[in-house]
Chain A
Amino acid sequence: MKYSINKLSRLSMLKIRKDEEKMISKKVSAIGELLEKLDSIEPPKEAFVLAPEGTHERDDIPSNFNSDEIIKIFNNVKDRYAKGPKTL
């Protein structure tokens, strides 16, 4: 089973007591059903960012922030990540 309680509890370092096993299984499978709906959707090209728009311009962005420099540093170290989600 995809949502095996034993596997998921090990993965998230949670111990499930005998008396709560049935209840948690029901909740996990209910959330699992909601996740399945996402299978039919095209994979995204870009992620959502909840940035203020229009009249709500941010005024606290540091003026000397250099994103190119940060990206350059990231490119130098990115191979050190053994595994994990691809965020860039």
Chain B
Amino acid sequence: MNLEGYSLLSILKEIERGSINAEDVNDFYYKKSLQLNDKINAYITLLKPDDKKINGNLKGIALAIKDNISTKGIKTTCASKMLESYVPPYDATAVSKLKEQGGRILGKTNMDEFAMGSSGENSAFGPTRNPLNNDYVTGGSSSGSAAAVAANMAPISLGSDTGGSVRAPASFTGIVGFKPSYGAVSRYGLIAYANSLEVIGILGKYTKDVKFLFKLIAGKDPLDSTSLNVELNEKEQFKPKILVIKSFVELSKDEVKKEFYRSISKIDEEGFEVKFIDSFSLTEYLLSAYYTIACAEASTNLSRYDGIRYGPKVESTGNWRDYITKARSFFGPEVKARIMMGTFILSAGYYETYYLRALQLRKLIRQEFEKIVRGYDALYIPTMPVLPWRIGEAIEDPKMAYASDVLTVLPNLTGSPALSLPVGRIREFFVGGQLIGLRGDDIKVLKIAEMMEEILKVKNDGRN
């Protein structure tokens, strides 16, 4: 059986018709993963699916889960030496919901350590390689979740998005990546990096698959007080009103811009109402606000990895300070850099200068975004300003990697839903276009993406 290019929904339909069964489907993805994982490094942990019959919407299909989402009885490492042997005693709410709906776990995917990074290179278990060209990065931090879907090693996957971590790898591998509104999917069981920014997201080959899975995991959860119910009913067919901010597009490389503008012409021809405005006044502060808040929250959240509460026990003859310092040596360089800057930002004298200013900026960014986008169905901009870079380049030039987040951090600062879909092709790579809606408009964003997919017909079905 060859399921390359199949959508999750068509697989489920075939199972219902009785032409295939879940065991064969799981066996296909498992064997493909065994065959390709040495090359792609998409999985940290791969599990052989059992063949017990399961009912429910997912009919026993096995999915890939990012390794920072807790899975009961299965190692959850966050791609860090710090949690190399950590086995959670409970499932994240999103995982419990998938299991209740007849889902299985195929494996835990590689990622940037503790979800810090946009290339997929900062993993203690080695970089994930882009299935489109193995010498290039996959994008991160949900690098393994994207690579697994793009290389037909999983039908669909869960990732997490703090500043573009689902959308960036989706763009670099030519698939669909969806970051729901903040709170639309429970964060219970998602190992915390920056609580006020992050959300569990979905990566798939087709928007209809992503929408289907989103409806299964969305909703208010008593275990996460920040969760909420968003509208899940769909409107009838409508003519989307799209806003394009030119200054965002201008931040992109010429070849990306060209493909992006070409996609606008096509949707415009098909009846989308597209309006352009020149700029977003706070563009130059997006990355400053994002990195200040993310580093501050990281330094607080990661203080629990002290070798006492979490992390490996170490031998130490010194005082408690020596013990903790030794225990925290298991973090990788990216994590150490962000904790150090977060500690600095929150220290006396700098808290007001940096942290409070970043919070105030966040408020202004949200106000401006809502003012501009209200009256439209979504904002449309490129996902990444550049194409994937060669593995190792960002390690030499971290500024380049941080700057590449400039188009993806906005929805995390505003709590909005955002989706990246392939809208153009350059050589072996794809250009991702990003739809951003107002908070709570998740289904509307997914619906517009489906319509665009139909019009643009740019797909990575994994048969490149």
Contact = CB atoms under 8 A, between A and B. Distances in A.
Which of B183, B337, B352, B355 gathers the greatest number of chain A CB atoms within 10 Å?
B337
Interface residues of A, number: 44
Contacts of A53: 439
Nearest to B306: A13
B353 interface: yes
Contacts of A14: 325, 328-329, 331, 336, 339-340
Contacts of B346: 85
B341 A43 contact: no
B326 to A, nearest CB: 7
A27 B464 CA distance: 35
Given A3-B344, A14-B331, A30 B357 contact: no
B225 interface: yes
Interface residues of B, number: 60
A60 B357 contact: no
A15 B288 contact: no
B295 interface: yes
Given A24-B337, A38-B353, A58-B228, A13 B321 contact: yes
B348 interface: yes
B46 interface: no
A3 B359 CA distance: 22
B333 to A, nearest CB: 5
A56 interface: yes
A1 B182 CA distance: 38
Contact of B291 (A12, A35, A52, A84): A35
B398 interface: yes
Contact of B292 (A3, A24, A38, A43): A38
Contacts of B292: 34-35, 38
Contacts of A47: 356, 359-360
Contacts of B415: 50
Given A35-B291, A52-B228, A58-B228, A20 B363 contact: no
Contact of B399 (A5, A15, A33): A33
A8 B228 contact: no
Contacts of A58: 228
B356 A43 contact: yes
Interface string A27-46: 11011111101110101111
B291 A31 contact: yes
A23 B333 contact: yes
A11 B440 CA distance: 40
B358 interface: yes
A71 B356 CA distance: 21
A85 B351 contact: yes
A44 B356 contact: yes
Contact of A31 (B285, B337, B360): B337
Contacts of B398: 26-27, 30
A42 to B, nearest CB: 8
Given A8-B341, A52-B183, A27 B295 contact: no
Interface of B: 182-183, 196, 225, 228, 230-231, 284-285, 287-289, 291-292, 295, 299, 321, 324-326, 328-329, 331, 333-334, 336-348, 351-363, 366, 395, 397-399, 402, 415, 439-440
List 9 tightest A-B contacts by C-beta distance, closest first.
A44-B360, A27-B337, A48-B363, A12-B343, A8-B340, A48-B359, A85-B351, A37-B288, A30-B399
Given A35-B291, A48-B359, 19 more contacts: A8-B340, A12-B340, A14-B328, A14-B329, A14-B331, A15-B325, A15-B329, A24-B333, A24-B340, A28-B340, A30-B399, A31-B295, A31-B337, A34-B292, A35-B341, A37-B285, A44-B356, A47-B359, A56-B440
12 contacts: A9-B340, A12-B340, A14-B325, A26-B398, A27-B337, A27-B398, A37-B285, A38-B358, A38-B361, A44-B359, A83-B348, A85-B352
